[in-house]
Structure 1
Amino acid sequence: MKKMPVLLTFDVDGEMIWRNRDPENANRPVTLSLGQYGIHRGLPRLLKLLDKYKIPATFFVPGMTAEMYPQAITSIEESGIHEIGHHSYSHKFPDMFPSKEAEAEDYAKASEIIEPMIGRKLTGYRSPAWEFSRNTLSILKDMGIEYSSNMMGTDCLQYLEIFGEKSDIVEIPIHWVLDDAAFWLYSVRLQGKSMQSLDNVERCWIDEFDGLYNEFIEEEEQGIDSDIVYVLTCHPQIIGRPSRLKVLENVIKHIRQFPNVEFMTCPQVVKSFKEKK
């Protein structure tokens, strides 16, 4: 029986989530320090954990983060098993660009910064805020992007189609229920937002895996070539706290108990998907 892909993905936003949310945050050092924590403390801890279990992962990095903190790119690349994906330059939401040209220029700038650092082309794209503009798909096609990880309409790998436009870009599905930010991203300016308990988040991520795994096994036993995939999205500045990293480790330990799973990078699962289609 084939194995269900398990993808651990990380958005290394650094300060960009705060700078983009409100330009005035550039003048708020405490707010910016939240993102800096992810670079200086969270990311090293996270890489150490992945190395402990020899798990490959995909890291989506904004161009400006790579520009400000090139050591983050170096530390990810040193493992030799991780992949770096495109996450725009400015972390600006695609639907906020004034034109197609402005959006394309932002993405091109990120590629120009990161690709020389890693010595290869960026093949995958994750949008800031998980949203597209009317122009995004066309731009991604022009860039030669091979996969996207942004849509929530299914649990299965499929080819990306939006606004009635088809593509040969593989869509790797995600969801807020498998995102640490939905549970733990906190700011005093987000009124009413409270952080969830560690146990609740761990239980949620494990239960979600169990449900998808059971469906995957059922489909395979019925002779269906299942495209179900488990994709967890985390951020070093959020998951990188010691207590929360323990949650991630417990989820990893739980998943590793099952025989028909394989931890993969996004490009690896895309290659496997395309080969069978």
Structure 2
Amino acid sequence: MTSIASEAVWPQGKKCAAIVSVIFADGRDAIAQAPDLRGRNKSFSVWQYGAMRGVERLCNAFADAGVSASWFVPGAVAEKHAPLLRDVVSARHDLDSHGWDFERYDAVQAPEAIELLKRSRETLNAIASNEVSGFRLPTGNWPRHFDRLLLQAGYSWSASLNGDDLPYSHPSSLVEIPVHNELEDRPYFQFNFTPAFPKGQGRIPSYEAVLGNWISEFDAYRKYGLCYVLQLRPEWTGTPGRIALVEALLSHIGSFDDVWLTTAAEVARWHGRNGAAPADHPINVYETYVDEEQAGER
């Protein structure tokens, strides 16, 4: 297998890539787990905080750092918050798709999936200054051959799977930008009493520890020449105290002149010239495994 450090040669001689992404679901993720939240204002207000305050704070922090971020937004949220998202776009950020309304694509048939994917993309394109080309899976499992459906719906890349530290291409040519839970804010900060998110409670660690994790991961990604993808949510990191973590992290990343700090779409366009993933890549190993399992069942 090719060594990790030698796989990527980043543009302009940069040592690694870094992407700041925002997942703005406006509580659709919570409602998908607990539909009765729609009628429970106290609990649901935890997620509504993102649109009320968090989006603006994140935009201000990004502006101070000179960062353009990739915002993953469901089409239904774009319809509801079009004026707010126009402010996001005017601050030089990209919009990309997070599905239509937090649906599970492993629970719908291909024609319905394509219709939802196209509807989301068209809605976002009406607001965005960029051509919406990217997608992040809202929830559920990645259906087999879902990459083909994304291409049919007009997308060219995804940031949904976890099986690498560098971009790679699905067999269909769809580019995948891997993401990891330790670089999200939600595993650290999501907390609500009723319903219990997370189940069993017990979250909200030391802010300094979270910042330390994110910086340690970045330093390692830079050391090995990888693609660092931070994933933030306005309701969890857009608070008065936690926004300081974002500011400190971006200051640390910006202190290096050998980092390609860019949008996910730019990374996908750069990688698109590199061809398909090798045969021993996890995405191809999985395909081979499924083919063998299905052949054994016949």
- TM-score bracket, shorter-length normalisation: 0.7 to 0.9
Deviates more, 1:120-129 or 1:204-213: 120-129
Number of residue pairs the alignment of both structures matches: 259
Higher Rg of the two aligned structures: 2
Indicate which of 241, 244, 260 corresponds to 2:242. Answer: 244
1:87 aligned partner: 98
CA distance 1:215–1:253, change in 2 (3 Å) = same
**RMSD across aligned C-alpha pairs, in angstroms?**
1.7
Partner of 2:52: 40
Residue 21 of structure 2 aligns with which residue?
Answer: 9
* SS of alignment partner, residue 48 of structure 1: helix
- Residue in 1 that maps onto 2:77: 65
Cα distance between partner residues in 2 of 1:37 and 1:104: 31
Instruction: Classify the secondary structure of the residue corresponding to 1:24.
Output: helix
Query: Is 1:172 paired with 2:167?
Result: no
> Which sections of structure 1, spanning at least 5 residues, go unmatched?
161-165, 217-227
Match of 2:281 in 1: none
Partner of 1:223: none
| From 114, 118, 126, the counterpart of 2:128 | 118
Residue of structure 2 equivalent to 1:224: none
2:227 pairs, out of 226, 229, 233, with: 229
Distance across 2 between alignment mates of 1:274 and 1:109: 25
CA displacement, residues 116-137 of structure 1 (integer Å, 9 cap, x when unaligned)? 2226542000011374123522
Letter in 2 for 1:180: D
**TM superposition shift of 1:56:** 0.8
Q: Return the alpha-carbon distance in structure 1 between the equivalents of residues 139 and 212 of structure 2.
A: 25
Change in CA separation of 1:140 and 1:242 when aligned onto 2, cut-off 3 Å:
same
- Equivalent residue in structure 1 for 2:215, among 195, 203, 206: 206
Structure 2: gaps of 5 or more residues = 1-12, 276-298
**Aligned residues with identical type, % of pairs:** 24
Q: Measure, in 1, the Cα distance between the counterparts of 2:224 and 2:120.
A: 38
Are 1:42 and 1:240, in contact at CA under 8 Å, matched by a contact in 2? yes
Within 2, Cα distance between the matches of 1:145 and 1:89?
Answer: 14
Task: Provide, for residues 204-238 of structure 1, a one-character-per-residue CA deviation record: whole Å limited to 9, x for no partner.
Answer: 0000011111112xxxxxxxxxxx20100110111
Q: 1:113 and 1:144 mapped to 2: Cα distance? A: 13
The whole-number CA distance in structure 2 between the counterparts of 1:54 and 1:105 is 36
Contact 1:11–1:233 under 8 Å retained in 2: yes
What is the TM-score of this pair, normalised by structure 2? 0.82
CA contact 1:170–1:270 (8 Å) conserved in 2: yes
Q: Which amino acid aligns with 1:45?
A: R
SS class of match (2:173): strand
Equivalent residue letter for 1:215: Y
Q: Counterpart of 2:116? A: 106
